[in-house]
Structure 1
Amino acid sequence: MRITNQQLGNMMLSTLRASSSKAADLTSKMTSGQRVQRASDDPIAAVRLLMLERDTSLTARYRKNIDTLTVRLQKNEAHLDGMLDTMMSAKDMLTAAADGSHSAPDLNAMAGPLRTLLDNLKHAANAKDSDGNYLFSGTLTGTAPIAYDPSAPAGSRYTYAGNAETQSVVIGHGVTQTANVTVDQLAEVMNKLEAAVDALGDANVDPNDPALRDIVTAALDATSSKGVDALSAKIAGLGGAQNTLQLMDDNHSAQLIANGQATQLVGELDFAEAYDQLNNYIAAMKGTYQIYGRMKQLSLFDAI
């Protein structure tokens, strides 16, 4: 069977194109260092790489959520620490007012600082974040948690206007962390504290009046149990939450390292093997050129 010069040329060009394409593809892989650049290179490895990429993206998002949430919890803790200090100062003053050893002028003098402490509590409870959202109103972030109605009777002017709903942030696969703290119990404390302030500030206050003692004692009990104790528990909870966030962040960091190593094992190019293959393709192309050039010089007369 005879092979025409055109057929021979087409065969040689097809062989050269195939070898050149493989050499170019291998050169591209050597440049990127990745042996899997498309699914056809290694379908199984390509699927594994996509799964690793997806997991890495999710893990990076979780770490970003953790960073944001950590800052928020630290702000919450700082404000609660301030409220706790204020509450402890109020408790000390109420303890002194309840011991029965102070004169009427002394009790009157205590009313002013207690009123200041009460105002500080309201200001701290209605703190906002950098976006203008209230920190301690549950999910009603646009509503001040502690509302004040001056027209209401003393002892009932403060109300909690937020809710007890929690805001949850995803920090891992199926893991969420509460992002907010409420101060719903604070309104009752502030009402009792204000009642004590009004009673102590009365110009006709009687240090020996049992009614006065009842009002001061009620304020002291509320300041202790629903003030100092409750705030201390919330601060402890925030500390535990931040420890959890740190643990999760460490786990995510280790996971990202593991994903990076797995990605290298699955998709990294073996340069020694690739270099040998490239040399083989180059040698094949050189040989094809030489054979083609030699065959172009042959004719039927060479066989006579």
Structure 2
Amino acid sequence: MNRIATPFMFAQGVDVMLKKQLELSRTELQLADGKRIQRPSDDAAASVQLLDLKESRARLDQFQRNADAAAARLSQEETALEGIGNLLQRVRELTVQGNNDALSREDRAAIATEIRQHLEGFVQLANTRDANGEYIFAGYRTDRPPLSHDGVGNFSYSGDNGQRTVKVGDTREIALGDPGTIFMDIPAAAGGTTDLGAVLYRIADNYAAGNPDPDGLTDLDTAMGRILETRAAVGARMNAIDEQKTANEAFALAVEQVRSTLEDLDYAEAVSRFNQQLTALQASQQSFLKIQGLSLFNYLS
């Protein structure tokens, strides 16, 4: 009877030791990397949640990258519009002077020269490119200069009315810029519409000929109003980006807290469990040694 029971007890002792060793090894792995879940089977429900949280975090990270890119592009647009606004303000001051009846032909010619310099500056700013080399006032046609001048007062816009958008949140999209149509189709004081380049060219042309420009101030004020409205819209978008980034950061923090609760190891509990498992393993080893001793005794008897 003992010869039958002893091999069974021997095998059972080995199984117990292997099980205790496996439990101890898993705890050692947890302590090594700080993760409670080493494989999906450790906690299937939590593993599924962790996958969802990982996707959420990746999406939030993409939103933040989109927001940073949008903010950078809008900042460039704001800088360009500010420059255009500043040069229009200077041209307005020059127009007030140029319409003064006391000015001589030579005085107006000098004013015309400066306005033409500002006209060149306007065309350059209207054809501003972003860090990727794309024209920011071209709508969807970002690979070509949107504004061109034939040299005799005719300005053409080769872009379109498109506004590219980018997602900065689950339910929020932000326009990356404004098409160059903001410089075109401006209501003219003389009736109909005109464009900003044509206004500047006409004022300079009149002054170069020694003549005042009675509609100059009105057309400039209308154009400046258009620029200010666009700058306000750009500023509102930049504020919206800041608000969304703050919301994304708060959501990302919440996601991280949930992930930590599900995945991160409670070190105090793990160390305590490790010590218990180590004690249990040592006890099973002692029991195994006794079984080995009993087996030898039975063999000798």
Are positions 1:200 and 2:196 aligned together?
A: no
Alignment partner of 2:214: what SS? helix
- In the superposition, the TM-score normalised over structure 1's length comes to 0.86
Q: Which residue of 1 aligns with 2:165?
A: 168
Give the Cα separation in 2 of the matches to 1:284 and 1:31. 21
Q: Which moved more, 1:101-110 or 1:163-172?
A: 101-110
Shift of 1:81: 0.6
Report the number of matched residues.
Answer: 288
Matching residue's letter, 2:198: N
* CA deviation vs aligned residue, 1:258-283 (integer Å, no higher than 9, x gap): 22222222222223332332233222
Partner of 1:291: 287
1:271 aligns with 2:278: no
Whole-angstrom CA distance in 1 between matches of 2:158 and 2:148: 6
SS at match of 2:60: helix
CA distance in structure 1 between the partners assigned to 2:30 and 2:215 by the alignment: 78
Write the letter of the residue equivalent to 1:290: Q
Confirm or deny: 8 A CA contact 1:189 1:219 kept in the other structure.
no
Shift of 1:102: 2.5
Shifted more, 263-272 versus 23-32: the winner is 263-272
Quote the residue 1:210 is aligned against.
Answer: none
Letter in 2 for 1:230: R
CA distance in 1, matches of 2:141, 2:158: 9
Aligned counterpart, 1:121: 122
State which of 222, 234, 238 in structure 1 corresponds to 2:230. Answer: 234
Aligned residue number for residue 49 of structure 2:
48
Structure 2 unaligned regions, length at least 5: 185-194
Unmatched segments (≥5 aa) in structure 1 = 208-212
After TM superposition, list the pairs within 5 Å mapping 1:72-221 onto structure 2. 72-150=73-151, 154-155=152-153, 157-187=154-184, 188-202=195-209, 205=210, 207=211, 216-221=213-218
Q: Deviations over 1:43-67 (max 9, x none)?
A: 1111222222221121122112212
Say which is worse superposed, 267-276 or 81-90, in terms of deviation.
267-276
117-126 or 282-291, which moves further after superposition?
A: 282-291
Amino acid at match of 1:118: L
Q: CA deviation at 1:84?
A: 0.5
* 2:191 matched residue in structure 1: none
